[in-house]
Structure 1
């Protein structure tokens, strides 16, 4: 009887194409060789490793699922595997790529003019222009319809006023994709960093996503040319479709974090001896480790199926909600359990479990809290909106 890979008990690797495995392995090498040597120190110092951006771009990871304009045009599963390996390194790395790709490049690609696509997308794919996504507001949180940021028409321009909160990449962004109420519904605008009245302020003293930049954005009578308005979408379907793209990647990312924690716990429990035997030889440790493997296997199958549905054009937003809810909760629980198995060592940055656990406290909250996704599924099951 053959031995199974402890990190792939259902041999899900066999469901991937040769190209998908090649892409995953290339990103895995980058994470192992370039990112992981930096990440613990960056987390400790609350610093985003911006020096990795050129290589991330050279690997074709920015806008990787988009067609044309210097983008790689990869399928959905390949994009998911990219997110998985990046988050195996750190949630901050995956968040950077998710925001650039799904929240900034995607709306320009889907809703922008040809001039906007030609101007911004090749530079963003090359990592020479960084974007951020302005939807969440200080008072709004999970209710984007309660948007206070407004844009009013003034000749050939728009005057933008308001504030956005919890914005990844804000202080390194060259452009912000900002959603604002107008007299004609919610519309999206490309706000350039040198526009008068636009300010980004970094949020400090975070205990989560410390190797990521999080900002507040302020707009004080910012004059935005109509040429910077996304012309091909109106209403909340614009920003919500962007979030659906990003949430899809988030279903994959925590699998990487959970796998990193499980591997670390397996190695540690196999090496550490207590009461005359390895920790891994005890029933209590084996039950915990087996439960982790079960939950990771289920999450992998959910995301793999989700990727195939996305490529077939059959993806439903509620399916993304189910996977985001399940997979992030899975990873957070595993990171916490692995931290416990590591004992006192688990609270140090010598090991990754505490870092992943802290990061996943943000991941389970952003782009739809766990409760929001539970209610999405509840609505799907019952037909009643309980929001």
Structure 2
């Protein structure tokens, strides 16, 4: 008798690792840490425009924005803008801050036919002539956007076909604008490479990511909401990127027709201590919490030694550095959650604000997403749930 196991089951770590290794042959993001970046850096150093405008949405912009937000203090004197929403008031406000005569427009669309991106491109063309002197396109090699670029002799950078949009931040999608802004893209990829090498040699990151993925999958029916609680506004962009990566990758129907429901939520501390934390502490036990801290903010700003009338009881704040204050706020919240004993939580500490560490963080989350996808036996890299809406929209617009 032949017995085929084609139903959902939680597989062994060994089986999952073998499947991830096999994926490296046809899922391109795994190989991005090892790419040659010389042609990107050569182009970036010759960009003279002061306003750098990324026109893209979702995977074409969220990852770049996350790294930009985290590393703004290391960027050059250029200004990076993001045009992604078709909200007319927001679009006009953002465009008003751009010197259109001294701007480089980076049009990013993997498919080349993204409605939001093409709509904004058309509008920009009414304000300034879009041509090879002020525009580049980042797209697949045979897309409609590539055809447009060739018709105007506009330089293009290729997005590999085997790299999905929400996994594309370490491709030309993110590396080109970030290099133009003066960031060290090789260090960014070095952080990714450290995680990748460690995982695929079954070292530290193998143990960390497998253990976390297995816990999330084995407990997904009880703890189906995954909260990232980042203690810095610098990580607000990372949170948004994580929500897309996690939600669009893992909200799927698996091999035996069961709808998977791992729901991502991104919070920023200490701000959300005054809102969502109440729900975590006394609400339904359906959430895991990952705290992310920055060990060294590289800033010495200090609360002044000052006594204010009526507020003398808060004089214990005097002379405390703000970087110490925010980390003590994080530690207090972590201790409170850990003390409850019934909310699964873990802590990620970023050593410093640099390219290497944000690369490590983001690539580890990409790997974690892929591992969880393999455990629950879904296609991590498609998004059939959003296609119907796109088809309906196209019909309505036509």
Q: Report the TM-score, using the length of structure 1 for normalisation.
A: 0.24
TM-score for both structures, normalised by structure 2: 0.24
Q: Which has the higher contact order (CA 8 A, sep 6+)?
A: 2
